[in-house]
Amino acid sequence: MNKTMTDILACPIDKNHPLELFEINEKSDIVSEGVLFCPKCTRFYPIIEEIPIMLPDELRDKKQEMEFLENFKDKLPEKIITKAKPWHL
C-alpha cells in the first residue's frame, strides 16, 4: 500500500478519517505489512502483502487476523494488541 493512500482511506464502519498507519515492513513509501487503525471505533485493518484488508465485520477472516496479530505482536503498539476490535464482538 502506498503511504499516500492514507489521505483518502476512511474506516468502512464509521467513515472516520484519517486512519492511523502503523508500519511493520516498508520500503520506498510502500507498506508491505502494517496496520490501519480507526481511533474512533478502535477497529484495526491489517495490511498484508501491500493490500489493506478493509472489509465490513461480517466478511472479515477472524483466523487470518488473529494469526496476523500473533505474528507481529512485538512490532505493533499496545492499543492494537489489547484494545483494538478486529471484528465486531
In tens, the pLDDT along 64-81 reads 998 999 999 999 999 888
Percent of the chain with pLDDT over 90: 76
Indicate if the pLDDT at residue 45 is higher than 90: yes
Distance CA 79, CA 64 (A): 19
Indicate if the pLDDT at residue 86 is higher than 90: no
Q: In Å, what is the CA distance from 47 to each residue of 23, 25, 31?
A: 9, 10, 8
Q: Name 23's Cβ contacts closer than 8 Å, sequence gap at least 6.
A: 31, 33, 34
> Which pTM was predicted?
0.89
What are 31's three cell numbers? 507498506
60 touches 30 (CB < 8 A): no
| Confidence grade of residue 89 (pLDDT, cut at 50, 70, 90) | very low
Mean pLDDT, rounded, for 4-30: 95
